[in-house]
Amino acid sequence: GLKHRREVAGKSAIFSGEHFVLEETDWYLLNLFRLWWHYGISFLRLQMWVEEVMEKFMRIYKYQAHGYAFSSLEELLRSLGGDAFVNMTQRSVAESLLEVGVTQRFVDDVIAAVLRSSYGQSVLVPAFAGAMSLAGAQGSTWAVEGGNKLVCSGLLKLTKANVIPARVTGISLHSSEGRALYQVHYEGSEGQGSAFYDMVVVTTPLHPSRSNFTFENFEPPIADFPGAFQPSVTSVVHGYLNSSYFGFPDPKLFPFASILTTDTPDLFFNAMDNICPVNISAAFRRKQPQEAAVWRVLSQQPLDKQQLKTLFRSYYSVQVTEWQAYPRYDAAKSLPPIVLHENLFYLSGVEWVASSMEMIAVAAKNVALLAYNRWHQDLEKIDQKDLMHKVKTEL
């Protein structure tokens, strides 16, 4: 019952802190010419690289349709793109792109801007996470009418899941007839409680800065995984854009709905865009640049009054949300496990491969298939080699 939200046209540009290094126009051929003029064929080499990665990544949907699952992130990646995909979690996206002929200037201007907008980080993020981010920036993504949160509420309704509105505080291990039995402790509005389960899937990051519950009676003990998360601040501002800061003294002439930024030390924000409602009527139109509009500003620190004054001539309201949005990617770290214990699974580790709604959905289905196959001892469906050949044979 979900609907595709109607797209509202709007041009983008990349800002260096002093001027725009790249501006989108209404003409597709002119945009291509500008890319070629500034960066040669780097954008074509980028597109070929991203398409190759995505073509291999899409194999996961065929595998899952046939019930295959993987017990580790390394095995999942290896089944899609061999050791090359595993290596992409250990080397930077900049290194990978330079290797295929993308110029340093294109990396500094365009790739850096996309990654600052999506992950709030530099071109040193791992290549696989970078590829996913760059794929999402090519305009093929879409939103749900009414808000993307309807995906989650719709799935809960469809599965008729019994949702307990409470915060899990710990998991303790017991045994029953030779099988592991897990007691989940929680706190809700009615006080503390617990329940026993044959299987448990942990979907919160198990890292020191995020983990807020304990594991008891596990031997060896289940410890937090190394790593930290990247702080992200979203400021939703209803006001009048200060177009003069971007080199447009006359606000009526400001043409952009989305502004990305290069990795410049003096820039205090990562990106900003003129956002639209989650429900878009047929008569909806973007505000004119000289009118008050709703802007979303992404930054690593909360904006102070002077910074808000730099971006806006005046404003009516500012709503600020700060959270630990994405892993702080470090190519030297190993990937977390999927299986924590016999029937205790960890979902959020996939964020250290790449963090997106699609990656989490893929990981969730993998855990569901893995739990099912392990429970029924269908080992032929777990960590199989040469799956492309097996799938073709089954067809």
DSSP string, 149-212: HHHHHHHHHHHT-----EEEEEEEEEEETTEEEEEEEEEETTEEEEEEES-EEE-S--STTT--
What pLDDT score does 211 carry? 64
Give me 18's structure tokens: 């002093």
* Dist. CA 330–CA 229, nearest whole Å: 11
Burial class (CB in 10 A: 0-12, 13-18, 19+), 98: middle
Separation CA 45–CA 98 (nearest Å)? 10
Q: Which residues contact 37 (CB under 8 A, 6 or more apart)?
A: none
Q: Is 356 helix (H, G, I), strand (E, B) or coil?
A: coil
Outline where the chain has alpha helix (H). 28-39, 42-57, 59-65, 73-87, 93-99, 104-106, 112-118, 127-136, 149-159, 305-311, 357-375, 387-394
CA distances 330 to 46, 93, 104, 229, Å, are 22, 12, 21, 11
Domains of the chain: which residue ranges?
230-327
Q: How big is the CA angle at 251 (ends 28 and 308), to the nearest 5 degrees?
A: 105
pTM score, two decimals?
A: 0.90
Pairing of strands 271-274, 20-23: unpaired
Cβ(65)–Cβ(74) below 8 Å: no
295 in Cβ contact with 275 (< 8 Å): yes
Question: C-alpha distances in angstroms, 207 versus 303, 329, 363?
Answer: 27, 13, 18
* pLDDT tens-digit profile, the chain (395 residues): 888 888 888 999 999 999 999 999 999 899 899 999 999 999 999 999 999 999 999 999 999 999 999 999 999 999 999 999 999 999 999 999 999 999 999 999 999 999 999 999 999 999 999 999 999 877 667 789 999 899 889 988 998 889 999 999 999 999 888 889 999 999 998 899 999 999 999 998 888 765 678 899 999 998 888 888 888 999 999 999 999 999 999 999 999 999 999 999 889 999 999 999 989 888 888 899 999 999 999 999 999 999 999 999 999 999 999 988 899 987 557 899 999 999 999 999 999 999 988 999 999 999 999 999 999 999 999 999 888 878 877 75
**Distance (Å, whole) CA 353 – CA 336:** 9
SS3 of residue 240 by DSSP: strand
Spatial distance between the Cα atoms of 30 and 350, rounded to a whole number of angstroms: 39
- For the record, the structure tokens of 255 come out as 């043409």
Nearest to 122 by CA among 246, 264, 317: 264
Collect all residues with Cβ–Cβ distance below 8 Å to 140 and sequence separation of at least 6: none
Contact at 8 Å (CB) between 33 and 298?
A: no
